[in-house]
Structures are given as C-alpha cells and as structure tokens.
Structure 1
Amino acid sequence: MKIALIGYGKMGQAIEQIALNKGHEIVLKIDVNNIHEFTNENLQKADVAIEFTGPHSAFQNVMQCINWGVPVVCGSTGWLEKLHEVEDACKQKNGAFIYASNFSIGVNLFFELNKFLAHLMKKHSEYNVSLTEIHHTQKKDAPSGTAITLAEQIMQEITTKHKWVNNPTQQPEELSIISERIDPAPGTHKVLYQSPIDDIEIIHTAHNRVGFAGGAVLAAEFLKDKKGIFTMKDVLGFT
C-alpha cells in the first residue's frame, strides 16, 4: 500500500516506521517545511493519506484529500466542530474517511469498557463521575480528544450530566475533565466513580506512541479501496 503522511512530527514518524515494517511504501511526507508539495498531483501517488497535524490545519488538509479523491485517515483533534462538513463532503464526493480521537487498539477497547461501565452505573446516583487525562507538554489541545470521547460516552448513559467542563466542578450537572501536562507522558486517561462508601476507577496508560501509530496504519489498511465514512469500531470489528 502507498501512503501519504500529512504531518511528519513524532506521530508521523512513528507511523512511517510501522508502515515500512509492514511492507508499505511512504510516497509523500508533508510538514510545515514543504507544504507546497501538498498538491493533487503528489497526493494521487498514494492509496491512502494519514493526517496527523493539529487543530488549525486538520480540517483543510482532510478536505483537500476528499476533494482530490484520496481516502483519508485523520487523527488530529481539536477541530471537531467542523467534522460534519467533512462528512457531508465525503458523502457528496463518494469518498472514504475515518476519524478517531485515538487509534490505539487498547484505547478503543477502553472506550467499550467505559460505555459498559457507564451503563451499569447510571442507576447508582450515589456515585459521581469525573475524568482525568495526562499528556506531554507539547500536546496542543486540552482536554484531549480521547477524554472528550469518554465524556460523551458517559453522558449518553448518565443523563444527569448535561455537559463536560475542563476544570474541577461542584455542579452536579457538569462532568469534570482534569487536564494535566507532564513530560514525557504519552497519554493516561482515568474515569473515576466516587461515592461516600467506595471508588471505582478504570485507567488506560499508554507507554509510547506505538499503539496510536499502529492503529492508524491498521485503519489505513482497512480504508484502502473502500467508500464511505467509518470508525475504529468498523476497523476492529466491534460493530
């Protein structure tokens, strides 16, 4: 498979190494120093594009891939207010698109566990739920996209929580997400249910970027030659 990497920071380089180890070819690498090479002609060399940049460039990058007819996997967070525009464009162009707040197989298993636990806890109002996420100091958005996904899953089950807030809160209708930035942490997410009697906590801790990068390559392998909008649940066969 021929891959275009849109974003060649630490994550892009980790994706490159895994892709090469699996026998794939990187035909285009775009970063801030060669953005002029992000053209239709160059992108057409790829079977799939993998986009990992940042919240200010992701939307435009993904839209370019869709407009130019190249399947795109996106892991950039912090731009989801425009996600529906990408999905609409993908449908209109009969394109192929996967977005995930986290491509790690372990995190996606954690998402399923989080949903199941929230479903169990919704009848037990004596427990208050909160989240904590810890990342390295170079992470550009807070809370993390993964934490937001966890919060939204919880609120679908525990309907007394009406919105998430990125700070400690005493308001019963708010779901608190605490964001900590500590080097060199690649990513830890904690979901805590507290009551006067006991606590229940689930935690996912990433040891490095390999899990994220490997999941992104897996998603690209899944998306090749497909049409439509997919998620990691499709990639991992959870649906």
Structure 2
Amino acid sequence: MKIALIGYGKMGIMIESIIKENGMHEIVFTATSKNINELTPKNFASSDAVIDFSVPSAVIENAKNVLAAGKPLIIGTTGWYEHMDELKKLCTQQNGCIVYGSNFSTGVNLFFMLNDFLSKLMKTQKKYHVFIEETHHTQKRDTPSGTAITIANSILENRKWLKEWTNSTELTDEDADETKLAIISNRVGDAIGEHVVTYYSENDSIQIAHEAFDRKGFAEGSIVAAEWALNKIGFYSFRDVLKEILANAE
C-alpha cells in the first residue's frame, strides 16, 4: 500500500519508521510545514491512503484535498471536533472515506470499552463522584486531550445528572459540583500519555487506567486504519474499525 503523510512531527516520524521497518508499505509523499503549498489533490494521486497527524486548524482543508483526490483519509489529529458535522458532510458529498480517532492505540480503544462498561454500571450509583486525570508531554497543543474528552462523553452519556465536563490543572471546590465532570490535565516533560478514571465515595474508590509507554501503538493503529479503509465509503471512528476487526477474529 502506498501512503501519503500529512505532518512530520513525532507521530509522522514514528509512522515512517514503522513502514520502513516492516517493508509492507511505502510512503510516496510527505507534507510538512516546509512544503505546505504542495498539499493538493495532484500530490495525493499516487497514494492509496492518506494519514493526517498535522494541526487542528488544517484538518478541513486537508480533507478537501484528499477527498478530491479520491483517497481514504485517516485523521489522527485532535482538537477539531467542533467541525465534526462539517467534515462528515464533506465526506458524504465526495462519496469518500474518513476514519478519525482521538487515539489510534488498540489498548486505548479497549480502555474506552472498559470505560463504557464501567460508566453503565455506575449510572445509578450517585454516592460515587467521578473525575478524569490525563497527563501528556509539554508540547501537546490541545487541553484536555481528545482521549480524555472521549472518556468524558461516555461518562456523561450514562450519568445523566452530569451536564458537562470542566477542565483544570487540579481538583478545586468548584469540581465538587455534582452536575459537572472534572478533567484534570497535566503537562509534564516527555510523558507519552496516561489516563485515569476514578470513582470515589466516603467508603472506597474504583479506578481504571491506561498508560502508553511509547508512540508506536498509536502509529501502528493509524496504519491498520489505512489498510481497513481501502475501498470503503463512509465516515468512521477508529472504534468502528477495531470493533469490526475484533468481530471478524472471533
């Protein structure tokens, strides 16, 4: 499979390294901040799929160019979700394929499923308060992380008395508001990514956690998504991809 990369930061470099190491695929075009004027449908024409790990502000324009070239697009960038409806409409109009994800790690997506299950179990347990804590490297642009927002949205869906999530760097008195879900964000050194969900009461606490040791899992997941998206039409999350893969493995 021939892959085009948009973005050559930590994730783009890791994807390139994996592809060179396994020899199964080939990178035919890489878009960076230095050749941004080359982000045109013509330059995506030789690829089979495109993986975007660039910046949130570029996602819509990148999608227009990739879809115009008739190629499936894998979006690993986060921080653009307020434009979700616009992107979905664009994908439908172009009869294209987009796979997006707040996190392309298989482990994190299994963690999402655990979080869904636990939040359903806890939806009647009002004596338990809940908060989310996420830790990433100091260069991460978006706060809270897209992964933390995905976790929060699942909890909000099941604990109906929680109306919204809030974000800060520590638990405060305001977070004691029983209608709000606190997300605590830490930016520390080169931390890859850690997410912890804590339910606590006067009697005990329950925690589930995921910690990434390197970025390889994220990069491998985006390549899996690109393989899956070939000849597909539609707008999908990486969880859709993983669920189908797991179902076919049974």
TM-score w.r.t. the length of structure 2 is 0.93
Q: How does 1:1-239 map to 2 (within 5 A)?
A: 1-20=1-20, 21-167=22-168, 168=171, 169-236=175-242, 237=244
The alignment-based identity, stated in percent, is 46
Deviations 1:56-90 (A, max 9, x none): 22222123212332110001111111111111111
Deviation (angstroms), 1:95 = 0.2
Q: Give the secondary-structure state (helix, strand or coil) at the position aligned to 2:109.
A: helix
Letter matched to residue 42 of structure 2: E
Any runs of at least 4 consecutive aligned residues in structure 1 with deviations exceeding 6 A, and if so which? none
Contact 1:18 1:217 in 2 (8 A): no
Q: CA deviation at 1:210?
A: 0.4
Secondary structure, counterpart of 1:133 in structure 2: strand
- Residue pair 1:122, 1:158 contacting (<8 A) in 2 also: yes
CA distance in 2, matches of 1:40, 1:63: 8
- How much does 1:108 deviate? 0.2
Q: What is the deviation of 1:22? A: 4.6
Equivalent-residue separation in structure 2 for 1:222 and 1:48 (angstroms): 10
Please report the RMSD computed on the Cα atoms of aligned residues, expressed in angstroms.
1.2
Gaps of 5+ in 2: none
Distance 1:17 1:101 in 2: 22
Counterpart amino acid of residue 4 in structure 2 = A
| CA–CA distance in structure 2, aligned partners of residues 59 and 146 of structure 1 | 20
Number of residue pairs the alignment of both structures matches? 239
Partner Cα separation in structure 2 for residue 235 and residue 2 of structure 1: 20
Which amino acid is the alignment partner of residue 202 of structure 1? Answer: I
Contact 1:58 1:79 in 2 (8 A): yes
Tell me the alpha carbon deviations over residues 161-217 of structure 1, each in whole angstroms, 9 at most, x when there is no partner. 110010231211010000000011100001000100001000000001001001000
SS of the residue corresponding to residue 57 of structure 1 reads helix
Match of 1:8, as an amino acid? Y
8 A contact 1:127–1:195 mirrored in 2: yes
Distance (Å, rounded) in 1 between the aligned partners of 2:184 and 2:240: 30
Structure 1 window deviating more from structure 2 (98-107 vs 64-73): it is 64-73
Aligned residues of 1:52 and 1:58 also touching (Cα < 8 A): no
- Name the SS of the counterpart of 1:77 in structure 2: coil
